[in-house]
Amino acid sequence: MIGRSDEYEKMFQLEGKLWWYRSLHERVAEALQTHFGDRRDVAILDVGCGTGGLMAFLRARGYTNLRGMDGSTDAVVACRERGLTVSLVDLNELSETGDQYDAVVCNDVFCYFPGDQLSALMRKLANRLRATGILISNNNAFNVFRGQHDLAVGIVRRFTLVDFRRLLPSTNLRIERSTYWSFLLSPVILLMRQWQNLELRLGWQSPESAKSDVYLPSPWLNETLYRVVHMEQSVLSRTPFGSSLFLVFRPVAVGS
């Protein structure tokens, strides 16, 4: 998505409002709470932090030790407008070593890394974790959900849990928790994406004019979508299908 200034501007404006971002941020906070309890001093690194919506959300929840990095100048500028500590870093050139953290978050970033590049990135993130730390990662799921959104933001791949299990031996990580989400909304999302693809096939839309799904619907619809996903998260700890795959990884213990 680097270079798409309009998408970063939309992200900056909507991260605190749009049902999808709100739901994702709450999932991250729940994962931190589950692992660290009420501690708010844990060191957290947000890799590919975008315009800083998650960091701002965690700061409002009382977390005090937050850092971020992103490869986009637009993203870093937006984060600094929020008063966040963020560095401009090309993730392809991320160092093998560096400061270690209790939690590393890397949401919707892996979809831009093909093949061996992704394995290398995950190993580097594992190296940034303390022995008792966790890596939290949300990812685009299932190719059936491909649509104009993928074209608009430059997504190169979608994932299933099997993809990550195949990657694990070379990453120094193991999966502690996983779930697909937006399960209850998946029929609606799937129908919308299939309609988008039909528009492309019929020439009603061109790939160059594709728009992302980052837009704010009417207040009642936005709140309804949020409540549906919130209920899903509260009632169903793990679901088998959805447009996103949420994972919590742990580093593999030395000698295991």
CA 116 vs CA 69, 76, 83, 103, 255: distances in Å: 21, 27, 35, 24, 24
CA separation for the pair 59, 65 (Å, rounded):
9
CA separation for the pair 51, 250 (Å, rounded):
26
Residue 45 is predicted with a pLDDT of 98
Residue 1 is predicted with a pLDDT of 53
Full-model pTM:
0.94
Residue 8 is predicted with a pLDDT of 82
Residue 254 is predicted with a pLDDT of 57
CB 156 within 8 A of CB 216: no
Helices (H), the chain: 5-14, 19-36, 53-60, 73-81, 115-127, 148-153, 161-167, 186-201, 219-235
CB 71 within 8 A of CB 46: no
CA separation for the pair 212, 152 (Å, rounded):
5
Task: With residue 173 as reference, give the H or E element that holds it.
Answer: strand 173-181
CA separation for the pair 18, 86 (Å, rounded):
23
Give the list of residues 6+ apart from residue 117 with CB closer than 8 angstroms, or none: 92
Digit-by-digit pLDDT tens for the chain (256 residues) are 555 677 888 888 899 999 999 999 999 999 999 999 999 999 999 999 999 999 999 999 999 999 999 999 999 999 999 999 999 999 988 988 889 999 999 999 999 998 789 999 999 999 999 999 999 999 999 999 998 888 888 899 999 999 999 999 989 899 999 999 999 999 999 999 998 888 888 888 887 777 788 888 999 999 999 999 999 999 998 999 999 999 999 998 755 4
Domains and CATH numbers, the chain: 5-251 (3.40.50.150)
Instruction: Give the CA diameter of the chain.
Output: 57
